[in-house]
Amino acid sequence: MQRRRQGEAGFDERVITRRNLFHGVAGAALVCSLDGPSALLSGQRTSAGLRAQATKRLAPFQTDLPIPPVLEPVSTSGGVDRYEITMRAGDQQILEGETTEILGYEGMFPGPTIKAKKGRRVEVTQINDLGEDAVVHLHGAVTPPQFDGHPDDVIPPGEEFTYEYPNKQRGATLWYHEHGHGFTAKGVYEGRAAMYLLEDKEERKLDLPRGRYDVPLMIADRNFDVDNQFLYPGTFPIDGVLGNSILVNGAVSPRMRVERRLYRLRLLNASNARTYELALSHGESMTQIAADSGGLLPKPYKRRVITLCPAERADVIIDFRNFTPGSELVLRNRAGESESTRKVMRFDVVRGGKETARVPKRLRDPVLMPAVVGERTFDLTLDTDPELEWQINGLGFDHDRIDADPSLGTTERWHWVNSSDSMHPMHTHLAHFKVESVGNRLLHPADMAMKDTVAVPPNETATVRVLFAGYPGRYVFHCHALEHGDRNMMAQMQVSS
């Protein structure tokens, strides 16, 4: 099958026109389109193909949950862990007996996990063998600007770049992914997403589940074409690309054998645009212990439903001791629109071992923020004239423009005013924030801890208190519905020292 490469499909050309904005659908769902016959063709192939193949190969709970390999450093001398990653094509078996081409880190999806320790620097040399530009961003990390993966800082094909991560922040579940402007969505979809688990001493002291009982779960939806390849559609809803299969660690709705003990599951929503409402079957609760880049919460919270918008993370503990061997617990997505998008994965309980892990009553001191010194308001809108563009304060991304100029070490109150009919998961680089309010909603305390991404619902306002800590320099903030970010819902801040 002929894969469409970045460039061929004209992804960075201005391809969304008013004409095809309303493509094919009478007033109802707004649809974006990549111009050109190939895009339309592939759009048709999707539905025909998926109809033809609504068969066993996409059935849930058929495959065991894969665990992405943990990357071995190439050297650990001088207090630095050095890694090398080649971004390249690779064949992966996702659907039984078939291979799917990945353009990923080491040719895998998810890419290899990096395990880092607070206070120990990590250097990752990313070698670009993709045949197209790439940028790597470590989401949730506090890094000097030249290593943040600003969309301008592309690694051209055939070249490499070494990112340096100081790891001075608290332990947290981070992830690295594609960040080139105009091709982040397609790049992530093709496979460029992986976990980066940062651990610190305080966390190490707690008796939380570890080793094989500490499991990253990268959740991402995909469509497959008739040739079993990821299908990045030519036409898609205005809210971004949604897949009709849910993949966890690269497997379609997998099953995981669990012992009767505690597990720490690190949930990451790595989907381009889909929001999940995760809940266990039988109304069982999960205990949330960490969120986003803030890492451990002050204390654990039992929750029946955890909502994750694109890029959000939640670490949860599930206690499988309450279940008899043979029990099957399904992790459901209550927000799914179909059978397949409602089934995330299944836990199959087997006998227990002796449990030594526990969930402490207190996890860690909250982050204290200095008093607010300023406020900024960002209006989130859709402009369709002359072409579709998502905007922040009436403007699309411009790398020559600075949209905010906070000072290092200060706190500001930011209002994201969503004046559109779409949800925008807003994300800040470098700076983390606490959510103060989202419309008039009652916020769960776990959602008010230190975060880096927050869902701003249609026609509501989210107010956050942002702490600018770390390094001075130029960083982006943007909508993490990846198609929105690519279509210019991105702005820049210049943090001054």
**Shortest gap between Cβ of 308 and ligand C2O (angstroms)?**
13
Q: Which CB sits closer to Cu ion, 81 or 389?
A: 389
The Cα 293–Cα 307 span in angstroms is: 16
**Which two tokens mark 471?**
């390094």
Which region among 120-128, 318-326, 426-434, 464-472 touches Cu ion (by CB under 5 A)? 426-434
**Shortest gap between Cβ of 496 and ligand C2O (angstroms)?**
21
- Using CB distances below 5 to 8 A depending on partner kind, what does residue 484 bind out of ligand C2O, Cu ion, none? Cu ion
Site for Cu ion in 95-154 (CB under 5 A): 139
**Shortest gap between Cβ of 91 and Cu ion (angstroms)?**
29
Going residue by residue from 279 to 318, which x/- string records binding to ligand C2O, judged by CB under 6 A?
--------------------------------x-------
Whether the Cβ atoms of residue 246 and residue 341 lie closer than 8 Å to each other: yes
Site for ligand C2O in 225-264 (CB under 6 A): none
Which region among 41-49, 201-209, 328-336, 482-490 touches Cu ion (by CB under 5 A)? 482-490
The Cα 315–Cα 136 span in angstroms is: 24
The Cα 146–Cα 169 span in angstroms is: 18
**Shortest gap between Cβ of 428 and Cu ion (angstroms)?**
8
**Choice from 192, 478, 484, 487 touching ligand C2O (CB under 6 A):** 478
Q: Which CB sits closer to ligand C2O, 139 or 264?
A: 139
Measured over the CA atoms of residue 392, residue 393, residue 396 and residue 400, the dihedral's sign is: negative
481 lies in the site for Cu ion, by CB under 5 A:
yes
**Shortest gap between Cβ of 323 and Cu ion (angstroms)?**
37
**Shortest gap between Cβ of 185 and ligand C2O (angstroms)?**
11
Q: Which CB sits closer to Cu ion, 60 or 425?
A: 425
56: exposed, middle or buried (Cβ count in 10 Å: 0-12, 13-18, 19+): exposed
**Shortest gap between Cβ of 364 and Cu ion (angstroms)?**
22
> Taking the CA of residue 239 as centre, how many other CA atoms within 13 Å lie in the half-sphere pointing to its CB?
17
Angle value at C-alpha 297, between 292 and 299, nearest 5 degrees: 155
**Shortest gap between Cβ of 44 and ligand C2O (angstroms)?**
32
Do you find a cis peptide bond into 145, omega within 30 degrees of 0?
A: no
Going along 366-472, which residue ranges are E strands? 372-383, 389-392, 411-418, 424-428, 432-438, 450-451, 453-456, 461-467
24 vs 36, 203, 286, CA distance in Å?
Answer: 15, 53, 42
Number of Cβ within 10 Å of residue 380's Cβ equals 25
**Which two tokens mark 153?**
């800082």
What is the three-class DSSP state of 12?
Answer: coil
- Using CB distances below 5 to 8 A depending on partner kind, what does residue 179 bind out of ligand C2O, Cu ion, none? ligand C2O
49 vs 46, 149, 336, CA distance in Å?
Answer: 5, 36, 21
The Cα 171–Cα 118 span in angstroms is: 6
274 lies in the site for ligand C2O, by CB under 6 A:
no
Question: Which residue's structure tokens are 């205005």?
Answer: 238
Question: Do strands 313-319 and 286-291 pair parallel, antiparallel, or not at all (unpaired)?
Answer: antiparallel
429 lies in the site for ligand C2O, by CB under 6 A:
yes
432 lies in the site for ligand C2O, by CB under 6 A:
no
Beta-sheet strand order (sheet of 461-467): 389-392, 372-383, 411-418, 461-467, 432-438, 450-451
487 lies in the site for Cu ion, by CB under 5 A:
no
- Tell me the residue type at 151: P
**Shortest gap between Cβ of 296 and ligand C2O (angstroms)?**
21
Which region among 48-56, 84-92, 411-419, 424-432 touches Cu ion (by CB under 5 A)? 424-432
Going residue by residue from 441 to 480, which x/- string records binding to Cu ion, judged by CB under 5 A?
--------------------------------------x-
The Cα 330–Cα 340 span in angstroms is: 12
Q: Which CB sits closer to ligand C2O, 137 or 266?
A: 137
15 lies in the site for ligand C2O, by CB under 6 A:
no
Beta-sheet strand order (sheet of 251-252): 251-252, 245-248, 214-222, 262-269, 313-319, 286-291, 295-303
179 lies in the site for ligand C2O, by CB under 6 A:
yes
The DSSP string of 48-75 is: HHHHHT-SGGG-TT-SBPP-PPBPPPSB
Residue nearest to ligand C2O (CB): 139
DSSP label at 102? E
Which region among 281-289, 364-372, 421-429, 468-476 touches Cu ion (by CB under 5 A)? 421-429
Q: Which CB sits closer to ligand C2O, 154 or 311?
A: 311
170 lies in the site for ligand C2O, by CB under 6 A:
no
Site for ligand C2O in 127-146 (CB under 6 A): 137, 139
Size of the site for Cu ion (CB under 5 A): 6
What is the three-class DSSP state of 208?
Answer: coil
**Shortest gap between Cβ of 408 and ligand C2O (angstroms)?**
20
- Using CB distances below 5 to 8 A depending on partner kind, what does residue 311 bind out of ligand C2O, Cu ion, none? ligand C2O
Residues that bind ligand C2O (CB under 6 A): 137, 139, 177, 179, 311, 427, 429, 478, 480
* Residues contributing to the site for Cu ion (CB under 5 A): 139, 424, 429, 479, 481, 484
